[in-house]
Structure 1
Amino acid sequence: MRDVEPGIGDILLWGVLPYVVLAVVIGGTIWRYRYDQFGWTTRSSQLYESRLLRIGSPVFHFGILAVLVGHIVGLVIPKSWTDAVGITEGMYHVMALGIGAVAGIGTLAGIVLLIWRRRTTGPVFMATTANDKFMYVLLVGAILAGLATTAISVFDHSVTNYRETVSPWFRSIWILQPDVAAMAASGLSFKVHVLWGLALFMVWPFTRLVHAFTAPLHYFFRPYIVYRSRDARRGGHGSTPTRRGWDPIGTPDRERPGTRRR
């Protein structure tokens, strides 16, 4: 695995580029939040069309969440840990293939449906910017690259196991000791998938994808919002007291002699 001698290109791609991407993601997100909070949105087009959106959006979002969980398990958890709990390499790959294929195909089906809706619905297409089109190209490319990588790793047994190449390299990035040799020893399909993913993350803060960084998790913890109260002292229902009619309004200098002040 480590008999590949990394060259200058490998050092730039797998030792330098990841930190450039991290700097762009962090700096771009901070810049976007400070100077473009009104643009920090998905720019929802539900008002123009909702039938296809109700189908495509949940399929895509649940699929992408499953893909994210799969990547975390595959890249973060070392092989020695799964071996320690009795999960053999064969069992791991069967689960990864089954869950990954379902999640990837679901994600692809959802994004294709959303793109079809955006292209065929006039008002939605008119609201689509060049930035959106570029983002869709990168997103679909990343999904296709991931599916292709999964298929190649299953049917081509000559491809080096990504748990011995890509995963150690990914973990080494976060301890500031990039294992360039490990990534250089990986297969071409993995390298293309990683580079496409890095390109997607580099433009992430400058597209509508930035809304993923502000998921409304606080909705689960916020207190109830009282719209109407039931207070018997204030009329039983609602928040305003019941009145019998118009209340007279006047001042002492305008009251007629003999009338009693209320």
Structure 2
Amino acid sequence: MGVLPYIVLTIFIGGHIYRYQKDQFGWTTKSSEFLDKKSLKIGSHMFHWGIIFVFLGHVLGIIVPAGFYDSIGVSEQMYHVVALIFGIPAGLIALVGLVLLCWRRINMKRIKKTTSTSDWVTLIVLLVVMGTGLIATFFNVDSSGFDYRTTIAPWLRGLFIFNVNPELMVEVPVWFKIHVLSSFSLYVVWPFTRLVHAFSLPFMYFRRSYVVYRKLDKSHP
């Protein structure tokens, strides 16, 4: 857990740069909405909203140091309970949404024919990442269970300041290690799949002039 994260980060950043330089026209979600809108609307909304809250939970639990919560009077047990109350429903919603998206690609012939190998890889890796994440959470429901804020969290933060402490991961339960490794696999394939659209937020819309629509007057030719 000392060198591997930097290899993954290099592929993640380098892959995006390469993809943007070589395949700008392919930098898209490749939406299948015109083939089927109803099931996409349900599954996509559940997946995206669920994953947003899961991401925020990871930021609050891993990026924010435990000492900050101690300083504002949030005990370890209180944090653990709140994390479970919000984290488990968010994870389940995202997973159900992802399963629905997988189902439509497997059972709808038109969508199945337009699904590429990279799409299947993306869906499978996402299922593994989210599944292992929920398993790790359910195995850690006990309030006296493993505290990842004193092991995984400082290890991860140390990577960003080049202060690698792989020994912090030695005593981490295997289900958390599997989740971390599966997350690394997601970052490796990310630049080469449709997941790149996550970095294509339409910020230009905030400064773009309004488009004015006028009703057609049929009385004039």
TM-score, L = length of structure 1: 0.79
Residue 170 of structure 1 is matched in structure 2 by 156
How far apart in 1 are the matches of 2:8 and 2:121?
A: 18
Q: Does 1:129 align with 2:116?
A: yes
Q: Which has the higher helix share?
A: 2
2:98, 2:127 within 8 Å by CA — same for their partners in 1?
yes
Moved over 6 A (4+): none
Q: Does 1:214 align with 2:200?
A: yes
Structure 1 stretches of 5 or more lacking a match?
A: 1-13, 230-236, 246-262
Q: Assess, with a 3 A threshold, how the Cα gap between structure 1 residues 15 and 210 changes in structure 2: closer, same or farther.
A: same
How far apart in 1 are the matches of 2:5 and 2:170?
A: 14
The alignment-based identity, stated in percent, is 43
| Higher RCO (C-alpha 8 Å, min separation 6) | 2
How far apart in 1 are the matches of 2:48 and 2:87?
A: 15
Aligned residue among 121, 132, 135 for 1:148: 135
Letter aligned with residue 170 of structure 2? A
When Rg is computed on C-alpha atoms for both structures, the one with the higher figure is: 1
Residue 167 of structure 2 is matched in structure 1 by 181
How far apart in 2 are the matches of 1:78 and 1:33?
A: 34
Residue 190 of structure 1 is matched in structure 2 by 176
Residue 106 of structure 2 is matched in structure 1 by 119
How far apart in 2 are the matches of 1:219 and 1:15?
A: 41
Letter aligned with residue 153 of structure 2? S
The alignment of Structure 1 onto Structure 2 pairs a total of residues equal to: 219
TM-score, L = length of structure 2: 0.93
TM-superposed deviation, 1:160: 3.2
TM-superposed deviation, 1:42: 1.1
Structure 2 stretches of 5 or more lacking a match?
A: none
Q: Assess, with a 3 A threshold, how the Cα gap between structure 1 residues 112 and 208 changes in structure 2: closer, same or farther.
A: same
Q: Does 1:41 align with 2:38?
A: no
Considering only aligned residues, what root-mean-square deviation do their CA atoms show, in Å?
A: 1.9
How far apart in 2 are the matches of 1:219 and 1:55?
A: 26
Residue 224 of structure 1 is matched in structure 2 by 210
Q: Does 1:73 align with 2:60?
A: yes
